[in-house]
């Protein structure tokens, strides 16, 4: 596979973007940062499918498309199915030798938001993983249904207010914990799963390259700070991703072959989750004295997860 150099940013920047501007994502949206980092980490042909979500509706505004690669959208939930079908068709046609360029390397990628990955498209994703197709699924995790007005999804963390888990006098926002999607996907026997963040561009590009190179179904969960629904200033998107990774709300790690866990980024001085929460409007209510225990609980959970990840990295089981 033809991978492009990611030794440093200067080398990385010599790539020719295949994701065009004038899509209608919000200013400062992290989705397009992630998509650009993926598409620049290889110069192979790409076949991409998108679930319904911010990325899909914003990059295919009739009569325009922002994709310079093959791109398909079918339904809310079935990007994984669509792209694996394309992959099988490619395999068969390659065998028969009736492709235009039989030797051109092609990679298959599916994009989904957290709603279509954790909830609505979960069954389709799980099926595609089980069938062991050679594709990469990338979840753009902004922790809510941002496209339809910020409803809660099963990726929304404890304490966040959304339009369907509203914080007020009787509620502190969402009460249920976030699904551990990375562990679920590793449990499918996937050869490569990872959680990555756009602010750590190098580990992200490396992870994408590994996933594209690896044969079999790979899954990558990416943190995508959403300025509209997390309620922060668009200019702080990269800073918010920094806070997310440094507070270990989103630890950066990979799991190879279901058991080899490697932590890809270790903050020198982890910051308290309080700082991460204070930067966003969706956690504003937690800073009232009566909801103090929620912040402490989230901090305890984050510490526990970090401890678990470190032990798993040592144990290699």
d(CA 69, CA 44) in angstroms, rounded, equals: 10
Nearer to other proteins, 89 or 166 (CB): 89
Nearer to other proteins, 5 or 123 (CB): 5
Nearer to other proteins, 61 or 166 (CB): 61
Closest distance of CB 204 from other proteins, Å: 10
Closest distance of CB 232 from other proteins, Å: 12
d(CA 228, CA 237) in angstroms, rounded, equals: 11
Nearer to other proteins, 158 or 238 (CB): 238
Closest distance of CB 41 from other proteins, Å: 11
Closest distance of CB 186 from other proteins, Å: 28
d(CA 250, CA 244) in angstroms, rounded, equals: 6
Nearer to other proteins, 21 or 289 (CB): 21
d(CA 232, CA 238) in angstroms, rounded, equals: 11
In the DSSP assignment, the letter for residue 5 is P
Pairing of strands 136-141, 70-73: unpaired
Closest distance of CB 6 from other proteins, Å: 10
Paired strand residues for 28: none
Which structure tokens are listed for 157? 């963390």
Nearer to other proteins, 69 or 154 (CB): 69
Distance of CA 24 to the CA centre of its chain: 19
Closest distance of CB 13 from other proteins, Å: 4
> Cβ(251)–Cβ(305) under 8 Å?
yes
Paired strand residues for 33: none
Closest distance of CB 69 from other proteins, Å: 8
SS3 category, 110: strand
Pick the closest to residue 257 from 310, 204, 218 (CA basis): 218
Nearer to other proteins, 56 or 119 (CB): 56
Contacts with other proteins by CB under 8 A lie at 9-25, 27-33, 36-37, 42-45, 59-69, 100-101, 104, 198-199, 201, 234-239
Neighbours of 249 (CB within 10 A): 20
């Amino acid at each position: 596979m033809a991978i492009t150099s990611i030794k440093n940013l200067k080398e990385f920047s010599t790539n020719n973007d295949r994701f065009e501007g004038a899509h209608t994502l919000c200013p400062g949206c992290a989705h397009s940062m992630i998509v650009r980092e993926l598409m620049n980490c290889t110069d192979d042909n790409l076949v991409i499918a998108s679930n319904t979500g911010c990325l899909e509706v914003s990059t295919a505004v009739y009569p325009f498309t922002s994709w310079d690669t093959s791109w398909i959208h079918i339904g809310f939930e079935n990007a994984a199915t669509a792209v694996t079908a394309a992959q099988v068709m490619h395999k068969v046609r390659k065998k028969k030798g009736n492709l235009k360029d039989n030797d051109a390397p092609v990679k298959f990628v599916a994009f989904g938001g957290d709603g279509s990955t954790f909830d609505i498209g979960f069954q389709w994703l799980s099926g595609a993983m089980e069938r062991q197709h050679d594709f990469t699924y990338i979840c753009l995790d902004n922790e809510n249904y941002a496209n339809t007005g910020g409803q809660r999804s099963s990726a929304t963390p404890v304490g966040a207010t959304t339009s369907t888990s509203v914080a007020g006098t009787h509620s502190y926002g969402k009460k249920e914990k976030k699904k551990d999607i990375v562990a679920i996907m590793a449990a499918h026997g996937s050869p490569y799963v990872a959680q990555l963040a756009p602010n750590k561009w190098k580990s992200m590009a490396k992870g994408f390259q590994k996933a594209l190179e690896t044969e079999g179904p790979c899954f990558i969960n990416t943190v995508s700070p959403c300025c509209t629904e997390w309620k922060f200033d668009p200019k702080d998107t990269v800073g918010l991703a920094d806070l997310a990774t440094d507070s270990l709300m989103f630890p950066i790690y990979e799991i190879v072959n279901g058991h080899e866990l490697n932590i890809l980024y270790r903050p020198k001085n982890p910051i308290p989750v309080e700082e991460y929460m204070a930067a966003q409007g969706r956690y504003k209510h937690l800073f009232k004295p009566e909801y103090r225990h929620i912040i402490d609980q989230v901090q305890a959970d984050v510490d526990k997860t970090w401890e678990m990840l470190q032990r798993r990295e040592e144990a290699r089981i």
